Chains A and B, each alone.
Chain A
Amino acid sequence: MNSLHAAWIVAKKDLLLALRDRTGLLLGFLLPIVLVGAFGFIFKVSFGQDGGGMDRATLWVADEDGTDASRAFVAALRDAATIRLRPEPGDEPATADALRTKVEAGDAHHALIVEKGFAEALTAERFPPLSMLRDPDRQVESQMISIGVMSAFFASQGPGLSHLFTARALELAGLPPEWHDRVVAISKTFSTTIGGLFDEKDRAATDGTTTASDAKDGPDFGSMFSQLVPMTTTDVRPSGRPQISYWMAQTVCGNAIMMLMFGLVACGQTLLREREDGTLSRLLTSRLPRSSILWGKALMAALMGAAQLFVVFAFGSLVFQVNFLADPSTLFVVSAATIFAITGFGIVVAAWAKTQKQAEGLSTVIILVMSALGGAWFPIQMVDLPLAAQVVTRCTLTHWAMSSYQGMLWHAKPWTDASMLTSIGVLVAFGALALTTAHVLFVKRYVRAA
C-alpha cells in the first residue's frame, strides 16, 4: 500500500470522526471566534481610547533647534513615563529627514521634530513649534506619546508656562480667542494651583496608573488633555501598508494561532485515544505501513488547521475588517508554514504522551505560556525586554508565527522579504524537527512495544 494513500485513508476516517465530535468542533471553530470577538471588542473599547495596558511607546526625536531649552525638553521626554525615546543617548542624533524616511518605511510609528525656533518661542511665552509624524494606525501609541510629550513639556518648562495651558484648554473647549488674553491674565494668578494639578497628573503617570478614569469627569477631557501641547501632526501611512486596524490584526492572529495549537493538539490526541480505545491494535495489524498511521494524523491535523484558520480569518475580515487577502500568496505561505509547525507540535505531543490526560495537561501549559511569551495575547515586541527575555520569546513557536503574520499585515511585507523568510524558515524547521521526533517516538512507543 502506498504510504500517502494509506495516510489519506486514515486521515479521512479521522476527519469524519472529528466532524461527529460536536464538542470538539465547538472548541475548534466557535471558541476562536468567540475569543477573537471578545478580545477585539476589548481592544476597540479600551485600547482605542487611551493607553491602558502598555507601559511605553517608542518615540523617535530630532532636535533641530539645538539649544539648551530644546535639549532640556528632549531630556524630559526621555524621562516621560509613557515614552521610550529613540535614538538612545549614546547613538547618533537623528535628523528630521532621517525620521521622515523612517516613518515612511514603517520602521518608526511616531517621530517628533523639535523645530528651529523652539527656545525663541518659549522666551516669547508662546507654544514652541513641534512637528509630529505618526502612523495613523498606531492610535494606542499616539495617546501615550501625547501624554508623555505634555508631561515632558511641563516638566522641562516648570509651572511658569501654565497660563499657556489654560489658554490652550479654553481654546480646545471652544471659547473665542478674544477671551484668551483676559483669562490668561487671570490664570497667571492661579498658576500655582494649576501647576499642582499637573504635578498630580505626572505622578499618576509615573505610578503606572493611567489617566483613563480622569477622562470620565467631563466630555472627552482625556483627548483634550493630550492635545494641550499643540503640535503640527502629519499622518504618514507607510507606503504599501494595507488599510488595517493594527490591533484587530493582532487580536485575530494571536487568538487564531493559540486556538490552532489547541485544535491541532486535540487532533494529535486521537492517536492516544485510539490506543486507549483499542482501535490502534487494528491499525497496527492492518496492511497500513506503520508510519502512515502517524502521517494520517498529521495530514488530518493540517487539514483541520487550514479549515480553522480559514474560519477565523474570514470572521476577522468580515467583522474587524482585517484585510487578510491583500497578498494571497504571502497569506498562503505564512499560513502553510504556521500550520506545518503547529501540526508538528500537536503530533509530537501526542507521540510523546503516555495518556490523553498527560497530553492535555502538558500541552495546555505549553500553549498558554507560548501564547503569552510569543505575543499571541499582546504584542510583546513593543515592550522593552531584557535580552534574556527576548531570547525566551524567540524560543516560542508563537513568536515566529506572530512575526510572520505581523510582517504581512502591519508592514505589508511579501513572503520573499528576508525577515519573513527567517520567520517562515524557523516555522518550517520547527515543524520538520517536531515531526521527525514524533516519528522516532512513535516507532519506539507504538510499533516496537505495542
Chain B
Amino acid sequence: MGATHPAMETLLQVSDLLVRYGDRVAVGAISFDIGRGEILGLLGPNGAGKTSTISCISGLREPDGGRFAFDGAAFSPNSDANARARIGLVPQSLALYDELSADENLLFFARIAGLGRADARIAADRGLELSGLTDRRRDRVSTFSGGMKRRLNLAAGDLHQPALLVLDEPTVGVDPQSRQHIFDALERLKAEGRSLLYTTHYMEEAERLCDRIAIMDEGRILDVGPATALAERAGLPGANLETVFLKLTGKQLRDA
C-alpha cells in the first residue's frame, strides 16, 4: 500500500515517523511519501495525529523517531534553518499579527523566510493577490473577517514559494465564499506544479483536491492512494470516502 504515484518523482519521504507526548504515542511510526507536483491529503478525525505529523515535517518539533528524506537526501528541518526554508507552513491556528496590516504581515514573513527586501516586496504583492486582499493591503488584520484571515494565513506560508507547502486544516471554520477562494488558490498552486501536503477532516474537500489521500486514525496511516483506489482496496469500488473511512476505521468522521 501507499505507493507513490508512478508518474512522479518522490519529493519528501517520511519513514517511521514517531511522535510522543510523554508516554502517549500521538503518531506511531508512520511512513508515506509526497511526489513532486502532487497534492497529498492527510485525512483523519480530530486527534488522529495530523498536526503532530506536520509539526515534524515543518521543523516545529523534533520527531521522537524516524527519518525524512527530501529530494533523496537526509532532511532535518528542526535543526537546520536551510532545510526549513524548503517547506512552507500554513498553521492550523491563524498565525498573523492582528495589529499589523496585511502588507506588513506578508513583508515580515517574507523577510524571515530569507527573502531580500526587493524579493520580499514582490512576494508580498503576489501573496496579496493570491489571498484576494490587494485592495485591503493597508488595513490591519484585526479588521478582517475570519475568512479573510484564513486566506492571508495561507498566503503567508507560501511567500518564498517553497518546494513543499504544508497546510494544516486551511478551511476550518471558514465561510463558503472564502472556502471557495482557498480551493481556487490551492488549485492554482497545483497548476503551477507545486507540491502540497494538506490535512483536513472534510471528506469532500479531500476528494475534490487531492491526488492521493492518506487515511489517518489514532496515529496510524490505514491506507494511502487515490480516492478510487482506496475504495477498491477496501472492497467497496465506487463508494465515497465516507463509506471507505467507516469501513477502515469502524467509525464516523466527526464534523464531516
Q: Which residues of A contact B (CB under 8 A)?
A: 1, 6, 9-10, 13, 16-17, 20-21, 277-290, 447-450
**Does chain A have a CB within 8 A of B8?**
no
8 Å CB contact of B84 from A16, A286, A450? A286
**B104 contacts A285, C-beta separation under 8 Å:** no
**A278 contacts B94, C-beta separation under 8 Å:** yes
Given contacts A6-B112, A285-B60, contact A17 B99 (CB under 8 A): yes
Neighbouring B residues of A281 by C-beta, 8 Å = 60, 89, 91, 93, 95
**Does chain A have a CB within 8 A of B111?**
yes
**B89 contacts A282, C-beta separation under 8 Å:** yes
Q: Name the residue of chain A whose CB is nearest to the CB of B58.
A: A285
Measured in the bound complex, the distance between the Cα atoms of B99 and A281 in whole Å is 18
Given A10-B112, A280-B95, 15 more A-B residue pairs with CB atoms under 8 Å apart are: A6-B112, A9-B111, A279-B96, A279-B97, A281-B91, A281-B95, A282-B89, A285-B58, A285-B77, A285-B87, A286-B114, A287-B113, A287-B114, A289-B81, A447-B78
Chain B positions 91 through 125: 1 when the CB is less than 8 Å from some CB of chain A, otherwise 0: 10111111110001000110111100000000000
Q: Name the residue of chain A whose CB is nearest to the CB of B160.
A: A287
8 Å CB contact of B59 from A9, A10, A21, A284? A284
**Does chain A have a CB within 8 A of B46?**
no
Q: Name the residue of chain B whose CB is nearest to the CB of A292.
A: B112
Can you offer 8 A-B residue contacts whose CB atoms are under 8 A? A6-B112, A279-B95, A284-B60, A285-B58, A285-B77, A285-B84, A286-B114, A290-B81
**Does chain A have a CB within 8 A of B61?**
yes
Chain B positions 32 through 61: 1 when the CB is less than 8 Å from some CB of chain A, otherwise 0: 000000000000000000000001001111
Neighbouring B residues of A448 by C-beta, 8 Å = 62
**Does chain A have a CB within 8 A of B231?**
no
Neighbouring A residues of B104 by C-beta, 8 Å = 13, 16
* Distance (whole angstroms) from the CB of A370 to the closest CB of chain B: 31
**A278 contacts B89, C-beta separation under 8 Å:** no
Neighbouring A residues of B77 by C-beta, 8 Å = 285
**Does chain A have a CB within 8 A of B164?**
no
Q: Name the residue of chain A whose CB is nearest to the CB of B81.
A: A287
**B112 contacts A286, C-beta separation under 8 Å:** yes
Neighbouring A residues of B81 by C-beta, 8 Å = 1, 286-290
**A287 contacts B85, C-beta separation under 8 Å:** yes
Measured in the bound complex, the distance between the Cα atoms of B113 and A289 in whole Å is 11
Given contacts A286-B112, A448-B62, contact A20 B99 (CB under 8 A): yes
Q: For chain A, what secondary structure do more than half of its interface residues adopt (helix, strand, loop), or is it mixed? A: helix
* Distance (whole angstroms) from the CB of A276 to the closest CB of chain B: 10
Neighbouring A residues of B96 by C-beta, 8 Å = 279
Given contacts A16-B100, A21-B99, A287-B84, contact A9 B112 (CB under 8 A): yes
Measured in the bound complex, the distance between the Cα atoms of B95 and A17 in whole Å is 15
8 Å CB contact of A286 from B55, B62, B98, B109? B109
* Distance (whole angstroms) from the CB of B192 to the closest CB of chain A: 22
Neighbouring B residues of A283 by C-beta, 8 Å = 112
Q: Name the residue of chain B whose CB is nearest to the CB of A286.
A: B112
Neighbouring B residues of A1 by C-beta, 8 Å = 81, 114
* Distance (whole angstroms) from the CB of B188 to the closest CB of chain A: 22
Neighbouring B residues of A280 by C-beta, 8 Å = 95
Measured in the bound complex, the distance between the Cα atoms of B90 and A279 in whole Å is 11
* Distance (whole angstroms) from the CB of B159 to the closest CB of chain A: 10
Measured in the bound complex, the distance between the Cα atoms of B91 and A21 in whole Å is 25
Q: Name the residue of chain B whose CB is nearest to the CB of A12.
A: B108
**B112 contacts A287, C-beta separation under 8 Å:** yes
Neighbouring A residues of B58 by C-beta, 8 Å = 285
* Distance (whole angstroms) from the CB of B91 to the closest CB of chain A: 5
* Distance (whole angstroms) from the CB of B160 to the closest CB of chain A: 8
* Distance (whole angstroms) from the CB of A343 to the closest CB of chain B: 22
**B82 contacts A287, C-beta separation under 8 Å:** yes
**Does chain A have a CB within 8 A of B156?**
yes
Measured in the bound complex, the distance between the Cα atoms of B59 and A447 in whole Å is 10
Neighbouring B residues of A6 by C-beta, 8 Å = 112
* Distance (whole angstroms) from the CB of A156 to the closest CB of chain B: 70
Measured in the bound complex, the distance between the Cα atoms of B113 and A17 in whole Å is 19
* Distance (whole angstroms) from the CB of A209 to the closest CB of chain B: 53
Neighbouring A residues of B84 by C-beta, 8 Å = 285-287
Q: Name the residue of chain B whose CB is nearest to the CB of A449.
A: B61
Q: Name the residue of chain B whose CB is nearest to the CB of A1.
A: B114
Measured in the bound complex, the distance between the Cα atoms of B108 and A282 in whole Å is 11
In the A-B complex, list the 10 residue pairs whose CB atoms are closest, starting with the nearest.
A287-B114, A286-B112, A278-B95, A278-B93, A20-B99, A287-B85, A285-B58, A285-B89, A450-B60, A279-B95
* Distance (whole angstroms) from the CB of A429 to the closest CB of chain B: 31
Q: Name the residue of chain A whose CB is nearest to the CB of B166.
A: A285
Measured in the bound complex, the distance between the Cα atoms of B97 and A280 in whole Å is 11
Measured in the bound complex, the distance between the Cα atoms of B78 and A290 in whole Å is 10
8 Å CB contact of A282 from B82, B95, B99? B95
**A13 contacts B97, C-beta separation under 8 Å:** yes
Measured in the bound complex, the distance between the Cα atoms of B113 and A389 in whole Å is 52
Q: Which residues of B, 103-152, contact A by the 8 Å Cβ criterion?
A: 104, 108-109, 111-114, 140
Neighbouring A residues of B60 by C-beta, 8 Å = 281, 284-285, 450
Neighbouring B residues of A279 by C-beta, 8 Å = 95-97
Q: Name the residue of chain A whose CB is nearest to the CB of B156.
A: A282
